[in-house]
């Protein structure tokens, strides 16, 4: 454990420093977390039970991308085969990364309750290259791009319809703070809390697991805490409701920001994911039919505005 914490700590100061010194429209590297450290391989035979679950898995089981570990199979509809197992060699089980209940994690997207047509369109845009990422270093994003290219229309439609029928639940607790736990990027793009004194939050959002161990075991009922700068929720509310010179967000995303037709829901979703998308729209790396409507929305959006908007939207009940 001491060796692991040392590995994490080496890059922590650099990541925080970059967040404190960001300019008007620079890549928010805190939202695209990447590590260049090697982590010790866990014991594949180690077994685990989780509170409230009747099943158990080994480390090998929860790390099998073609068998989504489902700790609570009675809490949601039966997963279609593509969600539960994917299709070898290139289509990982959708439920592995996005979780069987579709709640998702900060390094990917929550799909539960999102319109099926929206999900289908995004995968199509990734497959054709219209939707890319502003960073080519984040493993989870690169994996999704590869899966999109390997997938076919029929299985994408099946997965999209499954996730769209699920109810997205409260998953992220948003906390305003000036100082936050010190963190570093761990395995699989996850922010891990380090021991020691707190540090200034700077111009960033820090999204960490409520329980790192349960998150590493892919527990679909263990959520996240998002630390946001003090005052950001109120500032974000004003920006979202006014449109900050563009259309108010509710005009397309619905009065409660819970989606509207084929337009996705934003309320209660990962603030890191929201910031990535807002940045990608402005940087021109995210394109496609829906992206055209977002271009004027983000044209004058700054780093600080993205943080405030994401903080407010994440704080809402889904």
pLDDT category of residue 80 using cuts at 50, 70 and 90 = very high
Closest CA to 166 of 127, 224, 106, 119: 119
Residue 287, pLDDT score: 96
Closest CA to 231 of 308, 121, 170, 123: 308
d(CA 3, CA 39): 9
Per DSSP, the chain holds a count of helices (H) and strands (E) of 13, 9
Burial class for 271, CB neighbours closer than 10 Å (0-12, 13-18, 19+): buried
The answer to whether 315 and 175 are in contact (CB under 8 A) is: no
Closest CA to 157 of 102, 83, 85, 104: 83
Domain ranges of the chain: 2-30+170-315, 47-165
**pLDDT tens figures, 42-78:** 999 999 999 999 999 999 999 999 999 999 999 999 9
List C-alpha distances in Å: 28 to 15, 16, 103, 144, 256: 10, 11, 23, 20, 27
**CATH architecture type of domain 2-30+170-315:** Orthogonal Bundle (1.10)
Please indicate whether the domains covering 2-30+170-315 and 47-165 agree at the CATH topology level. Answer: yes
**CATH architecture type of domain 47-165:** Orthogonal Bundle (1.10)
The answer to whether 91 and 147 are in contact (CB under 8 A) is: yes
d(CA 205, CA 27): 14
Residue 24, pLDDT score: 57
**pLDDT tens figures, 131-158:** 999 999 999 999 999 999 999 999 999 9
d(CA 104, CA 133): 18
List C-alpha distances in Å: 158 to 86, 203, 227, 258, 311: 11, 40, 35, 22, 32
pLDDT category of residue 9 using cuts at 50, 70 and 90 = very low
């Amino acid at each position: 454990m001491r060796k692991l914490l040392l590995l994490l700590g080496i890059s922590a100061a650099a990541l925080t420093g970059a967040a404190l010194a960001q300019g008007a429209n620079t890549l928010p590297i805190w939202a695209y977390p990447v590590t260049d450290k090697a982590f010790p391989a866990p014991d594949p035979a180690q077994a685990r039970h989780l509170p409230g679950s009747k099943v158990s898995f080994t480390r090998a089981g929860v790390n099998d991308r073609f068998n989504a570990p489902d700790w609570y199979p009675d809490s949601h509809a039966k997963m279609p085969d593509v969600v539960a197992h994917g299709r070898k060699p290139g289509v990982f089980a959708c439920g592995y990364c996005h979780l069987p209940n579709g709640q998702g994690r900060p390094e990917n997207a929550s799909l539960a309750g999102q319109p099926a047509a929206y999900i289908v369109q995004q995968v199509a845009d990734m497959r054709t290259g219209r939707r890319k990422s502003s960073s080519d270093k984040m493993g989870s994003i690169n994996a999704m791009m590869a899966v999109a290219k390997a997938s076919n229309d029929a299985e994408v439609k099946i997965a999209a319809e499954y996730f769209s029928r699920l109810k997205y639940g409260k998953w992220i607790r948003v906390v305003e703070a000036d100082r936050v736990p010190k963190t570093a990027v761990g395995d699989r793009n996850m922010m891990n809390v380090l021991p020691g004194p707190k540090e200034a939050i700077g111009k960033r959002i820090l999204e960490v697991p409520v329980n790192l161990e349960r998150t590493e075991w892919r527990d679909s009922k263990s959520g996240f805490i998002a630390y946001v700068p003090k005052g950001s929720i109120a500032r974000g509310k004003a920006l979202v409701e006014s449109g900050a010179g563009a259309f108010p967000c509710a005009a397309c995303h619905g009065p409660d920001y819970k989606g509207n037709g084929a337009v996705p829901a934003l309320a209660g979703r990962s603030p890191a994911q929201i910031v990535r998308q807002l940045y990608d729209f402005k940087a021109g790396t995210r394109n496609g039919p829906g992206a055209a409507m977002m271009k004027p929305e983000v044209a004058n959006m700054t780093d600080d505005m993205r943080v405030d908007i994401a903080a407010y939207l994440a704080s809402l009940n889904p």
